[in-house]
Chains A and B, each alone.
Chain A
Amino acid sequence: MGDTQWPRYEVFGQDKEGNPHRNVGSVHAVDPEMALQNARDVFVRRPQTTSIWVVPAANILSKTQQEISEYLDLKSHIDQENKKTETYLVFQKLSQRPSMTFVVHTGQVEASSAFDALKKSVELFGEKETYVWWICPERTVYESIDDDIESMFSQAHDKKYRMPQDYRLTLEMMELKKGKR
């Protein structure tokens, strides 16, 4: 019995213009437009977001710190000549802090394959300790546009009732307990 779920898309959110996109989780969808809408519904319930990207999980090459040297060695004999190059986006997990989201967008490289892109990324961006590397072709990214900001993201700002700070339940419960209410 096969997997009946729709394809999975990884979601990257940008919390402020100028900040890098970070992976916030994933959604299942039938196509990129639905993935974008689902990503907005699932991950932009609370402010603040200015842009989201969705990428089919199948298009992402992912290697951990432990896996990477073995992986790069394994394919080192493959001939990469005569292949067209394209832009690959690079994401790295640079922190083990629990509050940090998973990988963050750190840059891009021109490469002829995901393997080639990963190899180049390690050379260019590898001086920082990296726990996980993600690579995907730029063409597989489906993103929200500036016009979307108002209808997709801004309205979350008004919905303060979605923020935990909006509820003073704890204080009220304590007062009830003490018989002050």
Chain B
Amino acid sequence: MEASVELALCRRLLMMADDELILGHRNSEWAGHAPILEEDIAFANIAQDEMGHAAIWYRILSDITGDSADKLVFFRDATAYRNCQLVELPKGDWAMTIVRQYLFDSFELVRTSLLFDSQYGPLAEAAGKIRPEELYHYRHTSNWIKRLGLGTQESNVRTQRALEYLWPFTKQLFILFDEEEPSVNAGLFPESSIIEIKWLDIVKPFLRESGLKAPDINQLIEVDRVEHTPHLDVLLNEMQEVARLDPNAQW
């Protein structure tokens, strides 16, 4: 594989893995705190799924670069993480969690479907494995969006508020490092603008059907994935605390 293509591939793998890891961590924060017992378990399941997906992407990356997942997860600082800001934001109230999960689940569903056609075998194979789980995640969150949006006045207000706060962060899902082109041209990854169009085609009508309105486009946050909010530092402090106590420990 050409050097520029491999570089682009590795960067995108790291982004996907970091997204899943950080989102999985946020999901797991509901354990013991969800509004009902069944959702406590549901989110624990979803968190496990996301961690599983992260592990898959880290492993494919490790096969190329040799960096172990443990090293990447527990011993990188926030500045080296390449997740989008959307997933590092605090879980907020139930509406905030559901809206954030919906925006990301719908994105993942679109991207996974397009990754089936990747010319890089491990990617296509992984996409095939992950898709059934993504289907379930989407079913779960989209149902909640509908119930919250069309529920009571309070549920609608909170969900609309969450949507207005989170929508600007979605633009970052479709922006990448400068070196995207080699991986797209080599047929490894779908083009971000295509993912974005398909995503908007699903999300906008669905939100409307659910009694919600996506905000205007001119409030979007367009930053490189190198930049993070202070929330990521707090999250990593907690997540990496035990591992960093004894970096040479055998687990």
Query: Residues of A with Cβ closer than 8 Å to B?
Result: 6, 27-30, 33-34, 37-38, 40-42, 45, 150-152, 154-155, 158-159
Contact = CB atoms under 8 A, between A and B. Distances in A.
Nearest to A159: B48
B48 A151 contact: no
Contacts of B133: 151, 155
Interface of B is mostly: helix
B143 A33 contact: yes
B139 A41 contact: no
A151 B132 CA distance: 4
B176 interface: no
A37 B42 contact: yes
Contacts of A38: 38-39, 42
A37 B140 contact: yes
Contact of B132 (A27, A29, A40, A154): A154
Given A28-B36, A154-B132, A37 B45 contact: no
Nearest to B49: A155
Given A41-B41, A155-B49, 12 more contacts: A27-B38, A38-B38, A38-B42, A40-B136, A42-B38, A42-B41, A45-B41, A45-B45, A151-B132, A151-B139, A152-B136, A158-B52
Nearest to A162: B48
Contacts of A151: 132-133, 135-136, 139
Contacts of B136: 40, 151-152, 155
Contacts of B48: 159
B38 A28 contact: yes
